[in-house]
Amino acid sequence: MTPPVLRLLGFLLLFGLSACAGHGMGSVQMASSAAGPVILISVDGFRSDYLDRGITPHMSALAGRGVRADMRAAFPTKTFPNHYTLVTGLRPDRHGLVDNVMQDPELPGRVFRLGDRAEVTAPVWWNDGTPIWVSAERAGLTTATLFWPGSEAEIDGVRPTHWRTFDQTMSAEARVDQVLAWLDAPAAERPTFLALYFDEVDTYGHHYGPDSAELNAAAARTDAAIGRLTEGLESRNLLGQTNIVVVSDHGMAETSRDRVIALEDLVSPEDGQVLSTGPHLTFEPAEGRQAQAEAALLRDHEHMTCWRKADLPARFAYGQHRRVASLFCLAETGWEILPREVAARRPVVGGAHGFDPDDPTMTAVFVAAGPAFQSGVALPRIDNVDVYPLLARLLAIGPAPHQGNTSALEAGLAQD
């Protein structure tokens, strides 16, 4: 039953919206100011099937009162490319975060790496995409990000109103408490869009493998932090009006010290520069060494396939951007291309991602609950470029150009 005062409010809003639209005014703004917050949560490296292990009761509760889907990650199945896809609706070849490690012919001598603070926060790497928080801020909304890749850079001249420098040592509880504190801010500073990032599941997946007790314990700890958030929302009477979207960036495949392709056996250092190693190898031939590098890599290999950037399979939607390295080798799932000395330090059994996005082990998770969603709906597999237009719709803001589509999600949305 809808209390009369809410029904009246609904009528006034509807009336107000059509009146505004008739005068060409900001109907979008009115709609968004009426809605509750949207919280986007990333659990880095949370493979879709972890949700069925019975170890994440809070995520399961969200799925139970909302929707869930398996989600295809973008190529390459790495953290920075996929986090930027989730908030831009563009695949890496378009948004320009083409790998966790990359070069740009327009930025000679520079290399983007996660550990390089100056590069991670430099706008130039991010400016090919417009993340949701930039569009939301431009539409007059307040946004807050707790460690989303890209959120430490000023993009197109805009930053989230609230953001923090990445600190891997900040506990999951403290991250949740920061998000709740932002929601307690006075109305003028209170965010409508919030992003929250957890990395522990990915870290344990790498060290112990996706089928380890250690991974399960990490997933349970992150799930408890999500429970702390929903309880914090409930105690503030905000849970019923908040749309929560939980995603991951990619899955995790088991690797082994016995499944290594030694880099030293493939190419010689004078042929060029190695950028990424692991599930994929990216290689930039040195001047005058293109033929040697291609001869070494573009032949048949066991457990690995290499391509020129122009020849990558179409389903990867990858190879147009100037930052994509000239030569790209993808290992068979579960294998890694590594220098011998790095391989020797790898755990006997561990985990990695960066493999073929159509391998089931790379499948990411999507769970969403709140007033915009139906209850208890399992959707067919979605694509992670579809998350961005969904977020724009939840925030009632006009999306920037994107490659996603909400039609696959339509069946999970509540009727307006």
Q: Does 200 bind ligand AMP (CB under 6 A)?
A: no
DSSP letters for 192-213: SEEEEEE-HHHHHHHHH-TTSH
Residue 195 binding partner per list Zn ion, ligand AMP, none, with a CB distance cut-off of 5 to 8 Å that depends on partner kind:
none
Stretch of 122-130, 144-152, 234-242, 290-298 lying at the interface with ligand AMP (CB under 6 A): 144-152
Helical H segments across 336-399, by residue range: 340-345, 387-395
Is there a cis peptide before residue 191, judged by omega within 30 degrees of 0? no
Does the protein bind ligand AMP through residue 114 (CB under 6 A)? yes
Residue 333 contacts residue 355 (beta carbons within 8 Å): yes
Confirm whether 242 is a catalytic residue.
no
The reply on whether position 318 binds ligand AMP by CB under 6 A is no
Q: How far is the CB of 351 from Zn ion (least distance, A)?
A: 8
Residue 305: C-alpha distances to residues 176, 254, 333, 335, 338 (Å): 42, 19, 11, 12, 15
249, 336, 383, 386: residue in contact with Zn ion (rule CB under 5 A): 249
Question: Does the protein bind ligand AMP through residue 99 (CB under 6 A)?
Answer: no
Q: Please, are residues 222 and 201 in contact by the beta-carbon 8 Å criterion?
A: yes
Select which of 2, 56, 77, 79 is catalytic. Answer: 79
Tokens 């989730």 found at: 86
Candidates 164, 137, 125; CA nearest to 148 is: 164
| Among the listed residues 166, 182, 328, 366, the single contact to ligand AMP using CB under 6 A | 166
Per CB under 6 A, does 170 bind ligand AMP? no
Q: What share of the chain is helix, strand, coil (3-state, %, to 5)?
A: 40, 20, 40
100 binds ligand AMP (CB under 6 A): yes
Q: Rounded to the nearest whole angstrom, what is the least distance from the CB of residue 79 to ligand AMP in the complex?
A: 3
Nearer to ligand AMP, 137 or 199 (CB): 199
d(CA 286, CA 239): 56
Stretch that binds ligand AMP, among 28-36, 199-207, 311-319, 390-398 (CB under 6 A): 199-207
Asked if residue 203 binds ligand AMP (CB under 6 A), the reply is yes
Closest CA to 221 of 244, 194, 238, 203: 203
Q: Does 147 bind ligand AMP (CB under 6 A)?
A: yes
Give CA torsion, residues 330, 70, 318, 103, to 10 deg. -70
Is 47 an interacting residue with respect to ligand AMP (CB under 6 A)? no
Report what 120 binds from Zn ion, ligand AMP, none; CB cut-off 5-8 Å by kind: ligand AMP
Residue with Cβ nearer ligand AMP (114 or 413) = 114
Candidate list 79, 135, 276, 277; residue touching ligand AMP; CB under 6 A = 79
Question: Under the criterion CB under 5 A, does residue 103 sit at the interface with Zn ion?
Answer: no
DSSP 170: S
- Please name every residue paired with 309 in a beta bridge, in sequence order, or none if there are none: none
Question: Applying CB under 6 A, which residues contact ligand AMP?
Answer: 44, 78-79, 100, 114, 120, 147, 149, 152, 166, 168, 199, 202-203
Active site residues: 79
